[in-house]
Amino acid sequence: MGKAPAPCWPGAAGALWGRGVRHSRRAALLAAVLAPVAVLAGGAAPQDPLPHDTALLAARALTLPVQGVAREDLVDTFGHARSQGRRHDAIDIMARAGTPVLAVEDGRIAKLFLSKPGGLTIYQFDPSGRYSYYYAHLQRYADGLREGQQVRRGEVIGYVGSTGNACADAPHLHFAIARLPADRAWWKGEALNPYPVLRGP
């Protein structure tokens, strides 16, 4: 989870973040750019590997992790191809650098981690400790955020950026969900598609 590079394309910032461009326009542009990548990889993204878990989490009506983004503006990039034969086990939510990133539900900050692909990242466990929420490419953490901290749904935990292998001109949140193994190791887990979880029924 969290090791797939973000999409990069020339002029992404200008295309997506020009003055007056609405979220729906951004979503359409992102979908148009990423669609050929999925086709080259052999078709559309695979079906959700964990449908029961997806339904359970969707019923919780998680808060969207990027402030100001509407559910209908999300784009499903889960399963899309990335470089070196890797798969994108997350969705990318485009937003201006510095946009607040929100905890999707109550939980605990399991790990604050700086990685080469993900940049500044946060691993948050859900209240049951069964699922992990992964927030990557952050510009910075919220002031005072620390490992072991209990956070509330909608609380600001960081800010959108382009750290790690994200393109500097296309800031976004790389958001992933994983079902944790029995040992609750934060770096492990089986990825599930965040898109149907966040979009809801």
pLDDT digits (tens, 9 = 90+) for 165-194: 899 999 999 999 999 999 999 988 999 999
Q: Where are the beta strands (DSSP E) in the chain?
A: 91-94, 100-102, 107-115, 119-125, 131-141, 150-151, 156-160, 172-179, 190-192
Average pLDDT over all residues of the chain: 81
Unique residue bearing structure tokens 């029924």: 201
pTM listed for this prediction: 0.77
pLDDT digits (tens, 9 = 90+) for 79-99: 776 656 667 688 999 999 999
pLDDT digits (tens, 9 = 90+) for 16-62: 433 333 444 454 445 444 443 333 334 444 455 578 899 999 999 99
Query: Which CATH code is given to the segment(s) 12-199?
Result: 2.70.70.10
63 has pLDDT over 90: yes
